[in-house]
Chains A and B, each alone.
Chain A
Amino acid sequence: MAEVTLSKIVKKYDEVEAVRGIDLDISDHEFVVLVGPSGCGKSTTLRMIAGLEDITGGEILIGGDIVNDVPPKDRDIAMVFQNYALYPHMTVAENMSFGLRLKRFPKAEIKKRVDEAARILDITELLERKPKALSGGQRQRVAMGRAIVRNPKVFLFDEPLSNLDAKLRVQMRTEIKKVHQKVRTTTVYVTHDQVEAMTLADRVVVMNHGLIEQVGPPNELYHSPRTRFVAGFIGSPAMNFIPARIEQNGSGLAIKLNDKLAFPVPEARKTRYEKYAGKNDMLLGLRPEHITEAHGHMEPGKIPFDANLEVTEPMGMETLVYFPLNGTQICGRVNPKAGAQDGAPMQLAADLNNMHLIDAASGRVL
């Protein structure tokens, strides 16, 4: 077990910069998830930690040692691949013990470790089978088992659940979390699925265009995104961004959406937003759960407004409603019993206590 440090890491393929100088400190036992859209450099970063890609610039430290020029086998890491990468001609037990056999571990020790890993992953009865006789979920467990038996300093996961169906993915997500709670190995996990990132991570690293947008615990990223990208990427359905303008309104501030609609800014946010009064090109960021049905007695900061619903999506525990506002499509979450109907008007309420104000030009959350 060890901490991992990335210092000004750069990766160039010819002239294309895939990773553009990122810094990241991962502490011992930590579960860090790199998340971002395809092509954001997250997999490249992971592969550089593994030693499968050369580093163009910067330093990678594992357990305090610079490993830039250390081959993968000497980095004491284990990796789980998206397509499992099990050796098709070996049994599960042979797959899991391959690394230990290459390192000439005593037979008894190998057996002990394989049995232990098989017990943790609940695959003891599969040990003599070949990979082709396993289901996707079982293969994924074996791939994890192969990582666990090595008892490495760091686990690296490269989109390990992408090949599984939705139900199994949720199940395996829990399994991975349980395994990490048991073995406590420092883990770097790459995914494009923000739900996976939120549920698994101690800290989430959101990447975009080869740069880190924000690093933080899942809740921090969700509630206090620093950029428009993070605000839009984390959370499903995504945050609504409504073109707006901040205006002085008597002694208070108002966020003006259009000629008809202006929301007063809550007192608590007033000092923070005052300096942007009169500025154009602002975006009001509101998560769908902060646009709900209006009712009689509403707490301060919740402002009612009228909307013409275009589409409603009943989800059972809630209903998602979509309506146009300022030229964008807005999503809200209402109580399924609130009577939302396709094509019907409805009074909704915006919870401005949870609003975000974003500078459209820089993409920064103010």
Chain B
Amino acid sequence: MANVSAIATDLPVARPKYGSMNRDRIWALRWSYFFLVLFAIFFLLPPIYMLITSLKTSAEISAATNPWWVFNPTLDNYKELLTSNSYLTYFRNSAIVSVVVVSITMLISVPAAFALARMKFWGSATLATGVFLTYLIPETLLFIPLFKMFAIFNEWTGIALINRWWVLLILYPTLTVPFCTWIMIGYFASIPKELDEAALIDGATWMQTLTKIFIPVALPGLIAATIFAFTVSWAQFLYPLAFTTSADQLVLPVGIITSLIKGDVFNWGQIMTGALLGAAPPLIIYAFLMDYYIAGLTAGATKG
């Protein structure tokens, strides 16, 4: 026995792998990568297909060739759209509506969230829940009563609200304000109470506490809310479809559909180009604010 153990000690000893991953973890990672890649393919295929189609002529799109390859790449679709007055009008309408809606949303929801999160007043908790509940009502339920309200308003005052692009400035905040208020309440609630008490003792008014302390500290949340409001306004389809009809009043998502689908003729190349160009602004905003956005989504998770 003594001999055996002596020999055994001469053999190379399996060294403990410090800091290395165990088998379970390696497998967990492999599966994660597998599904992540699957997801990435699943979600990236449509935009790639859009890009490929946007570079084709109408003839090539309808030809029975490989749909995943461009044989005669062309930028005609882009040229036509970017020189088309109506497309630029939709784009401009969308841009104005989104920017103004984001501003209106922030101007309302940030002070509202601050008041609901911090200034304890009678009914503030109920009100905060109420704000969230309004968000839960789907827009498909709202647009018919809203339409009716606008019609009655028109009867009484003579002011037409239907088929005006700026009416979207009133409509979109009904979607964005409740949700943004709700996220901002969460952010503001995660800021320690002592911070506003310190500001209060330092001589700050409620408004100064909001602008000088809360907004800078909750900046990630503010950016998350901004991105949300922008995305909702930019991509909103149902309200503009229902409330605007004339070509000069349309926003991008509706404009592309109404002007590029004529009867049963689908101008696929331009539809894809228009949608791709239309997706650019949110994409650019995401890219710039991504770091903040991620921080915004995860902050508050640990602070309760």
Binding site for B on A (CB under 8 A): 50-52, 71-73, 77-79, 81-83, 85-89, 98-99, 102-103, 146, 150
Contact = CB atoms under 8 A, between A and B. Distances in A.
B107 interface: no
Interface of B: 192, 194-195, 197-205, 208, 212-213, 216-217, 219
Given A79-B201, A89-B216, 4 more contacts: A50-B201, A72-B197, A73-B204, A89-B217
Contacts of A73: 200-205
Contact of B198 (A51, A71, A85, A89): A85
B200 A52 contact: yes
A89 B205 CA distance: 19
Contacts, number: 57
A52 B204 contact: no
**Chain B's interface: helix, strand, loop or mixed, by majority?**
helix
Nearest to A88: B217
A71 B213 CA distance: 19
A102 B203 contact: yes
Contacts of B199: 87, 98
B208 A102 contact: yes
B295 to A, nearest CB: 13
**Chain A's interface: helix, strand, loop or mixed, by majority?**
loop
Contact of B203 (A79, A81, A87, A99): A99
Contacts of A146: 198, 202
Contacts of A82: 194
Contacts of A98: 199, 202, 204, 212
Nearest to B215: A89
Nearest to B197: A52
Nearest to B204: A102
Contacts of B213: 87
The 4 closest A-B pairs by CB, nearest first: A99-B202, A85-B194, A73-B203, A85-B198
A79 B198 contact: yes
B201 A72 contact: yes
A263 to B, nearest CB: 51
Contact of A79 (B197, B204, B216): B197
A77 B202 CA distance: 9
Contact of B197 (A81, A87, A102, A150): A81
A103 B199 CA distance: 12
A78 B202 CA distance: 7
Contacts of B195: 85, 87
A173 B203 CA distance: 28
B192 A78 contact: no
B202 A83 contact: no
B197 to A, nearest CB: 5
A83 B192 CA distance: 9
B217 A87 contact: yes
Contacts of B219: 89
Given A87-B213, A89-B216, A77 B201 contact: yes
Contacts of A51: 201
Nearest to B205: A73
Contacts of B217: 87-89
A115 B273 CA distance: 61
B214 to A, nearest CB: 10
A87 B217 CA distance: 8
Nearest to A143: B198
**Residue of B198, B200, B212, B217 contacting most chain A CB atoms (<10 Å):** B198
A88 B220 CA distance: 14
